[in-house]
Amino acid sequence: MSFSLDATLARADQISGLLRTSDGKDKAIALLQYVAMFASGGEAGTALAIQKSLGAARKPFRVFKPIETLMPLLTGATLRGGKRRPGQDLARALSLVKTLGMTFYFAADHVVWAGAAGVLSDKSLAQRAQKVSYWSWCLASLAGLATATRELTDALDAMTAATKKDDDEEKSAAAAKAQKLMTAVVANATQATLALALLEKLNLSKRQVGGLGVFLSLLNCYTMAPALKRKTA
């Protein structure tokens, strides 16, 4: 009973940690939004109304996102790199594409919100902004996918080298890094697919798109949640 209670409290503390940040709140609401999309299947009704309301509820947590995502470029962090290494130019280019893609994604999404809120009367502009937002998200996700794949290859090579040297500590560190990068590969691939589905470039039903969004949101919540605290003796 005590063990079960301790585990429950630890999990509750982990969820609380996720919800302390604006990004965590955004991803948690996104999960509920896609659950509602899955439930509605795109059909008018309570679930669809909930989906739209939750989508609007995410906006306050994204107000400063365009600036936040652009900061690495403004400060030069995206372009700095110190000593030149093989493949560094490609890595910088991918980082730049991802930064600009996410900036346009959030900025265009603000225009979409302005149209939905009645602040912007030009509906055609809001519709174009929606497409720009999704295409930018797709492009940024593809850049992130390429980066994570390259880094995953390096991590797997490091694991192989550590195995040959019989270095358990180095192998464990490389394995942990590879696992993290594998999650990034899956997340970016799913994001790109979801963006294309929302653009209706893939032949997926609303329920399938909702299911894809639920999977991505769960993955995002998992990666963003703080580590589960283990009880010490």
231 in the same domain as 137: no
Q: Give the count of domains, the chain.
A: 2
- Going by C-alpha positions, the residue among 133, 147, 151 that lies closest to residue 189 is 147
Spatial distance between the Cα atoms of 178 and 16, rounded to a whole number of angstroms? 27
Question: Rounded to 5 degrees, what angle do the CA atoms 207, 195, 74 make?
Answer: 145
36 in the same domain as 21: yes
209 in the same domain as 137: no
Spatial distance between the Cα atoms of 142 and 97, rounded to a whole number of angstroms? 9
94 in the same domain as 183: yes
pLDDT at residue number 80: 57
The pTM of this model reads 0.86
List Cβ neighbours of 162 (8 Å cut-off, separation of 6 or more). 168, 170, 171, 174
Residue 113 lies in a domain: yes
17 in the same domain as 28: yes
Segments forming the whole domain that contains residue 212: 1-63+205-233
Residue 72 lies in a domain: no
pLDDT at residue number 232: 52
137 in the same domain as 170: yes
96 in the same domain as 41: no
pLDDT tens-place string over residues 139-161: 999 999 999 999 999 999 988 88
44 in the same domain as 127: no
Query: Which residues of the chain fall below pLDDT 50?
Result: 1-2, 233
